[in-house]
Structures are given as structure tokens and as C-alpha cells.
Amino acid sequence: MKNKFLVFLSFSFLIVSCHRKSIPSGEGKLVTETGYASFYADKFDGRSTSNGEIFRQNKFTAAHKKIAFNTNVKVTNLTNNKSVVVKINDRGPFVRGRIIDLSKAAAKQIDMIGAGVAKVKIQYRKK
């Protein structure tokens, strides 16, 4: 029983430590945008992204039209105040009114799967 608890505790710490909810401190101006987020359809899993990476629904990644690749972006769902940090590795979305397209893992983290689209605030540091 003790071993199961230690495994659970170790796994929990790993999950929490790998998932940041705040913008990393660093150089550059903090930029904020507000708009709508959507998330990738399952058919894109395994395809190449604009920066050459293979897209995976279970990773915390996103597409934005202009933010530099590999930039960490904090996305906050304005309906429930839940947030997630994603890495930009693709371009898009190309639907009017949408500012970011999230992986399914990121969309789940901010509870927007049911709605499909959510009003969000994004924040990142521009170098």
C-alpha cells in the first residue's frame, strides 16, 4: 500500500511540475490579447505543424498567426478563469474572430471541450 502511495505521489508531482500556469519571467514586453480560442480536430494528430514538429493532441501546444515559434503563451478561459501555458508551434487559426487554436490537452485543461470555442485572454513575452 505504501509503494502505491509513493508512486501516486511521485506521478502527481511530475504532472504538476511539467505543467505551468503562469508566464515564465524573462525579458521582453508582456503582451495581452483577448479573443476566441478553438481546438484542433483529431484528424490533425500526427501531421506536421508549421515549424516542422509532429502535432500531438496530448501535448500543450497551439497555433497563432504571428507569435514566434516556441513562445510560451498563457491562455485563460474568461468563462471560468482556468488557464494553461502552451508552446506555439503552428500557424492559425484561419477562422474570423479566433486568435489561438489549442491542442485537445490544452483545451481540456481550461474546460472548453464541450463548448468548442471559448473567449480567452492570452499573454506572452515579446522579445
CA-wise closest residue to 123 among 29, 22, 31 = 31
Global confidence as pTM: 0.81
Query: For 86-108, what is each residue's pLDDT tens digit?
Result: 999 999 999 999 999 999 999 99
Amino acid letter for position 90: D
∠ CA 58-87-62, nearest 5°, is 65
Predicted confidence band of residue 25 (pLDDT cuts 50, 70, 90)? low
Burial call 71-93: b when 16+ CB within 10 Å, e when fewer: bbbbbbbeeeeebbbbbbbbbbb
The pair phi, psi for residue 45, each rounded to 5°, is: -60, 130
Q: Which residues, including other chains, have CB under 8 Å from residue 121's CB and lie 6 or more apart? A: 32, 33, 34, 75, 76, 78
Judged against a pLDDT cut of 80, whether residue 109 lies above it is answered with yes
Which CATH class name applies to 21-126? mainly beta
Predicted confidence at residue 4, as pLDDT, reads: 46
Query: 16: pLDDT confidence band, cut at 50, 70 and 90?
Result: very low
